Amino acid sequence: MASGTKKKGAPKKGSVKAARGSVVSKKGVPWGTIVAVVAVVALAAVVVGYYLVQSAPKRALAEWAPTADNPDPSLTIPGIVTAQYAGSVHVLPTERVAYDHSPPFGGPHDGYWAACNGIVYPTAVRTENMVHGLEHGAVWIAYNPDQVSGDALNTLKTKVEGKPYTMMSPYPGLDKPISLQSWGHQLKLDSATDERIDQFITALRTNQNVYPEVGASCDALGPGAFDPDNPPPFDPTPPGPDAKPMDYQGSAGTQQDTGMGSTPAPTS
């Protein structure tokens, strides 16, 4: 056999490399997997972003919720006015109270409370009944009907409609466009978009640290007591000399509270 004879079957180095390159090129880039991963990541980013945007107002209000360490967060709201009032001092439906603030936010009041479970009253309601609702843990949004209308009025309504322990009514002659009341607390404002409205409601609605009759109902009493469909009207005239003073001890024969129970936590 000649010494220059080559062995058969031994692959050349160049052909091996070419074969390997061919195998790699046949596999290709897994574009389907990459696209799927990118889509999932993008969707997750959208979901997280949507949650952060939608929950931002609620998260911002968390600091205004009462806690054991901060039982009345409203005290740091700029413009808040507070006062101390005795609870459960009732007057008759025919009697008036010479209140020390307008609108009032505590003091003697009618034995029948104004229904205050998310009700927007279209007309002004007798003050003495509205004050009783505050004693039960409600927030009352009063507004000057000559200054608040249209979009501003609708914005205020969204704070109340369907919201437990809230009520709203016009208050003729109010010295500011808007006034918020809870028992012993008041905040007067110029704009329906003021962030302090939500701060006030969060801090004080059913805040058991600030109102006398914890567990009292806000449900409507009905005809013969307080009918939300036909409430006693607001009296715009100044109280006369027979009006009951703020230190009044109560009238005989007045309705006593029958709405005591477990106050539900607001659901919205």
The answer for residues whose C-beta is within 8 angstroms of residue 140's C-beta and 6 or more apart is 103, 105, 116, 130, 133, 134, 166, 167, 168, 169, 180, 181, 182
pTM, entire model: 0.77
Helix-helix angle 196-204:31-61, to 10 degrees = 70
Model pLDDT, residue 235: 98
Which H or E element spans position 110?
strand 109-110
In the numeric block, which tokens belong to residue 187? Answer: 């905040």
The answer for residues whose C-beta is within 8 angstroms of residue 22's C-beta and 6 or more apart is none
Asked if 244 and 98 touch (Cβ cutoff 8 Å), the reply is yes
Phi/psi-derived region of residue 105, left when phi > 0, alpha when psi is between -120 and 50, beta in every other case? alpha
Model pLDDT, residue 42: 85
Task: Tell me how far apart the alpha carbons of residues 140 and 119 are, in angstroms, rounded to a whole number.
Answer: 10
Instruction: List the chain residues with pLDDT less than 70.
Output: 1-27, 48-58, 256-268
Model pLDDT, residue 268: 58
Residue 172 Cα to chain centre, angstroms: 25
Model pLDDT, residue 50: 66
- Torsion angle, CA of 15/20/21/25, rounded to 10 degrees? 140
